[in-house]
Amino acid sequence: MYNILTERLIRVDKSDGSRVEASLPAVYAALMADEVEAFPAQRPHQRHAWHAFLVQLGAMAMQKAGVTEPSADTAEWANLIRGLTPEFPDDEPWQLVVDDITKPAFMQPPASSEDKLADYKNKSNVKTPDELDIISTSKDHDVKRGILSDGNVNDWILALINLQTMAGQIGNGHYPISRMQSGWNSRTSFTLTSSQRWGEHVTRDIIALLEVDFTDWPMRWDGIRLLWTEPWDGNAAEALTLDKLHPYYLEVCRRRRLAMSEGVIYARVATSNRRLATKNSLGVVGDPWQLVDKRDKKSNKALAMQKDSFNYRRIVDYLFEGDKWDLPPLFFARNSDKLLVARGVKGDRGGETEGYYERIIPFRHRTVQVFGRRGPTKELGDIARERIKQITRVQAILKEAIATFACHGDAKKAKELLSVRKREDALRKRVDEIADKAEEKIDERFFEHLQEEFEAHENERNSIRHDWLHTFLIPSAEFVLSLAHRSLPSRQNEFFYARASSQNLFDGYLKTAFPTLKEEEDDI
């Protein structure tokens, strides 16, 4: 029931302004023809799961069939996808609801016998697709669960894919996917692309994935591709090792089965052990979009998502500290690439999520080509690190000036305040929060300014850096300092003294740190 290869179950907004429902092969055809504007049923945190699913499935189907050029023909895509499951002539792996538990359903593994249906009984059934999804939070700014009471088949498709390919751990019996460092982390995406348009991005990644060399990985080209086609009773002994899998494998981490009641879909839940024996891999399993953290000399790990994982300082580390980070296989630049796309959901040890994060950075042609296999990354990296050093100096001065004002003009007390750990002192926390507003302004335009200097002639770079320092970096800090003077509490009879002391410290330290400021002042 609900065969995604033959039935129109996926909502698509097309370039001609129409909204249609399409089968999965028709979605591929529309993507390859670049006719897709959006998938209106999709929520932001589901973007990478849906994108990765389309790319991995498409690449595996093409690789198995020996096809190298993606087609814009619906019938050809139907044949390619069916070629992955020839042992199921009735398309069970592509149907959302299959009553026979010994047969697979879409993203739902079969059991070894009908007796295993008992595992799914006396459990809490899931009534809506967003309850099935990975989002679990008590925060108002995050996505809530249980609100799609009228969720249709398309919502269930996206929720299943997101759960089975992105979920972390939520207690015993509900274990995480293999492509994350630990159960409370995230499967992140850090890659280049030619466009944010769905068709261009998916096509780019399918072609690039077919060219990736996985010879150093334990997976094999004839390995298991779709884990939901393999029987799974949830036992520890059934855990599959990497050498049983295809390099692009699509996994399922939970035992779930969709069923119907009075014409309405719901999900049955069963517990299990880990599906893959990859706990010790710490997420380093060849995920084409995943950054690898090499800072621990004992073992490499997949990136552990933090709230600041996509700020400019972290991204500079990822791009230019090769002894600390390995860029993903799909990051290497292609001629048409012009965007860096970073996505991830931050999790915590309690099984909740702390927000979806996404960052898109435009890159100019010369800059993006640095990230080809033999690009001059050192030159660009040196410029980025030098700029960060200057930002760090200005930020340290700004923070001390703000603290001086907060301490009513007493510079000694300000130094004592800054020695206190942020979370242990409310005033210190407030000082840091205000100073961070300058970081936010700098972060917004860091890569734009970095590329201006990198792509200029060498004789012009010093002038560009000078202009950036004097017309952007220092004015940004000055603006935030004035904000601190207006927003931090101050005794009325001490306000002018505190503000003058704060401003004098700021100006004096800047002239010491950047002598050109004093030289320019003397020239006036």
pLDDT of residue 171: 76
> How many Å apart are CA 101 and CA 228, to the nearest integer?
12
With bands split at pLDDT 50, 70 and 90, how would you rate the model's confidence at 422? low
301-305, 354-358, 370-374: which range is least confident on average? 370-374
CA 52 from centre of chain:
11
Share of the chain above pLDDT 70, in %: 92
- The DSSP 8-state label assigned to residue 283 in this structure reads T
The C-alpha angle with vertex 22 and arms to 19 and 26, in degrees rounded to 5, equals: 120
Nearest one of 286, 289, 283, 376 to 341, comparing CA atoms: 289
> How many Å apart are CA 264 and CA 262, to the nearest integer?
6
> How many Å apart are CA 265 and CA 406, to the nearest integer?
58
Backbone angles phi, psi at 151, to 5 degrees: -55, 135
pLDDT of residue 373: 64
4-8, 239-243, 371-375: which range is least confident on average? 371-375
The Cα-based distances of 87 to 83, 150, 518 in angstroms read 9, 35, 78
Residue 348 pLDDT > 70: no
pLDDT of residue 145: 46
Mean residue pLDDT across the chain: 91
What is the pTM for the complete model shown? 0.92
The most confident of 103-107, 143-147, 456-460, by mean pLDDT: 103-107
Pairing of strands 245-250, 224-226: parallel
pLDDT of residue 161: 97
211: enclosing H helix or E strand: helix 198-211
pLDDT of residue 353: 63
For 68-102, write each residue's pLDDT tens digit: 999 999 999 999 999 999 999 999 999 999 999 99
pLDDT of residue 136: 46
